[in-house]
Amino acid sequence: MSKAFASQADLVDKQVTFAKLSPNAYAYTAEGDPNTGVIVGDDAVMVIDTQATPAMARDVIKHIRSVTDKPVKVVVLSHYHAVRVLGASAYEPEHIIASRDTYDLIVERGEADKASEIGRFPRLFRDVQSVPPGMTWPTITFSGAMSIWLGKLEVQLLQVGRGHTKGDTIAWLPEQKILFSGDLVEFDATPYAGDAYFQDWPKTLDKLAAMKPKALVPGRGAALTTPEAVAAGLKGTRDFIADVWASVEAGVAAGKDLNAVYKETVAKLRPKYGHWVIFDHCMPFDVTRCYDEATQYPDPRIWTAERDRQMWQALES
């Protein structure tokens, strides 16, 4: 008999922190749950990643209202995963912005991803009935780079490379050198890599490091408020991705099947990373995707609720 998804036993709500990084930048974090970035401009607010449901987004709005009464006019989707986007309607924004690659992924696999994620991690979809029917659709898309002006405050939206997904978007305050990375960077939290590009991700992180951020809001984990903490967050994520790839690539080269590679990789990585949030949840998805990339699937295959269950039973029975 297979055990339930590791995340289904994660039932304890986390303590929220709303950290001020500058007069304009805030980080809504919750002990390893998905983060939301907030940028307060001269005349409006931008939200980066929305939470998983409108009901959960309302807590973000409550914290925004503790620092400003300016309207939330812009929502940015760092990527397409349901846990990041389905709360968008609560903000009633004028625009929802995403990369064109993210838009294409919503078209291709948004419905499947929504069903998959809700089944995997029910606590993160509190009051899921508050999500409007259908998908969260961007109203503006871009490729490569664009600037949004919140009055005189420039926010740069950039695609610096593939990693967590092919559509990853970062938000960058160039004058303040504050970076909102989405799930390209995690801190003391296991990167989910089920839709990743393992060979590209470390190179993308090197590009983020070259920007020399003074502060960084990761996709999960506490806000990184010094250059030293930023460097540690980038290195931790980079090391994890490289270590998974090295283990899986060695197993593939030795002719081992996915099940054997999975067990070996978890055993190798647990001493170093096993204390990170959602390690047991992520590893089956991460190793499966890495094995795919190292063998015959350069692009991630679509996860469905049924594929989730089949994979989990095969690796965790």
Residue 172, Cβ neighbours under 10 Å: how many?
A: 22
The one-letter amino acid at 35:
N
| Rounded Cα–Cα distance for residues 110 and 76 (Å) | 17
> What confidence score (pLDDT) does residue 317 get?
78
Is residue 122 over pLDDT 90? no
Is residue 8 over pLDDT 70? no
> What confidence score (pLDDT) does residue 91 get?
98
Please say whether the dihedral angle defined by the alpha carbons of residues 64, 159, 308 and 237, taken in this order, is positive or negative: negative
pLDDT, average across residues 157-168: 98
Domain-embedded: residue 292: no
Domain-embedded: residue 153: yes
Domain-embedded: residue 157: yes
Looking up tokens 């009901």 gives: 55
Domain-embedded: residue 255: no
Domain-embedded: residue 307: no
| Rounded Cα–Cα distance for residues 86 and 312 (Å) | 25
**1 pLDDT band (50/70/90 cuts)?**
very low
> Can you give the pTM of this predicted structure?
0.95
> What confidence score (pLDDT) does residue 5 get?
61
**3 pLDDT band (50/70/90 cuts)?**
low
Q: How many domains does the chain have?
A: 1
Looking up tokens 């749950």 gives: 33
Is residue 12 over pLDDT 90? no
Poorest-pLDDT segment among 27-31, 223-227, 287-291, 313-317:
313-317
| Rounded Cα–Cα distance for residues 173 and 184 (Å) | 17
CATH, residue 31: 3.60.15.10
Q: Are 88 and 118 in contact (CB under 8 A)?
A: no
Residue 60, Cβ neighbours under 10 Å: how many?
A: 24
Poorest-pLDDT segment among 35-39, 66-70, 132-136:
132-136
**123 pLDDT band (50/70/90 cuts)?**
confident
Percent of the chain scoring above 90 in pLDDT: 92
| Rounded Cα–Cα distance for residues 200 and 210 (Å) | 16
Domain-embedded: residue 151: yes
Domain-embedded: residue 81: yes
Domain-embedded: residue 270: no
pLDDT, average across residues 254-259: 98
| Rounded Cα–Cα distance for residues 47 and 49 (Å) | 6
> What confidence score (pLDDT) does residue 13 get?
78
Is residue 9 over pLDDT 80? no
| Rounded Cα–Cα distance for residues 49 and 121 (Å) | 17
> What confidence score (pLDDT) does residue 124 get?
86
Boundaries of domain holding 234: 6-239
